[in-house]
Amino acid sequence: MSVTAAVRSAAPSAGPEGRPVYQLKGVSKAFPRRNVQALDTVTLTLREGSFSSIIGPSGCGKSTLLKIMAGVLPPSTGSVVLEGRPVTGPRREIGMMFQQATLFPWRTTLENVVLPIEIRDGKAAARGKHGAARGLLELVGLSGFEHVYPNELSGGMAQRAAICRMLITEPAVLLLDEPFSALDELSRDFMNMELQRICREQNSTAFLVTHSIPEAVILSDIVYVMSPRPGRFVDAVEVDLPRPRTLHMMTEPRFGRLVDRIRDQLGQGGSP
């Protein structure tokens, strides 16, 4: 089977069989002034409750793709549709999480969590969400830290607060830009397991950009492998490990075979 056929056959059936939430068809992106073709004909469907990852070499267009999906960068060609409506700009149904927690130091944990509601709907609406925010903080193990300021939180705690801030708007899709890359290895492993648990409990639809092959495999239902620029999908690797995933699974032969397949696609054993 050719790579193109493999991608076509894997993508529709990978992950939970939920309804389509986010669909990209034939998306390309060029920057004519720089004479750069960043993306080349990317087609993707995210289904409700699924967790997908994208991995590829540096400069292949992963961040460009994420910006297009977030509505902050228009595609040059192709269509981007969320919940049946074209994405023409930032949407409240899209939750974003970045490499750094970016909490405002003068706001408490609770105030940081409800900040998107305050910006969008005002202070009264934000106060009305305090109960929901406390529920989310309890979900991530931060009960009792509602009135603590960011400088009193560890890196992992700050990222858990950032997860709550992302979820408070009840987004249809979560876009994750290497959210735990700045953490040490032990904290990163813990946060990945926490992210899996939260997504399962919330039935979240998630899309992760990462440079870590093991991270992509342990979290995802499907891993999309991108070519060097111009970025395009060269493989769609379905991860058939049972859920909930555990870190112990990373020692299993089946996990190793999936990692090796992705690494081979990235360049005969090369690293992303």
HEC profile of 29-94: EEEHHHCEEEEEEEEEEEECCCEEEEECCCCCCHHHHHHHHHCCCCCCEEEEEECCEECCCCCCCE
Q: Residues 241-271: pLDDT tens digits?
A: 999 999 999 999 999 999 999 999 887 434 4
pLDDT of the residue at 9: 34
Low-confidence residues in the chain, pLDDT < 70: 1-16, 268-272
pLDDT of the residue at 179: 84
pTM of the prediction?
A: 0.84
* Residues in a beta bridge with 23: 45, 81
Give the integer Cα–Cα distance in Å for 146 and 130.
Answer: 10
pLDDT of the residue at 16: 59
Compute CA distances 35 → 24, 66, 78, whole Å.
24, 21, 19
* Residues in a beta bridge with 267: none
Checking DSSP bridges between strand 77-82 and strand 233-238, what pairing results, if any? unpaired
Question: Is the CATH number 3.40.50.300 carried by domain 1-93+172-272?
Answer: yes
Listed in order, the ranges of the chain carrying CATH 3.40.50.300 are 1-93+172-272
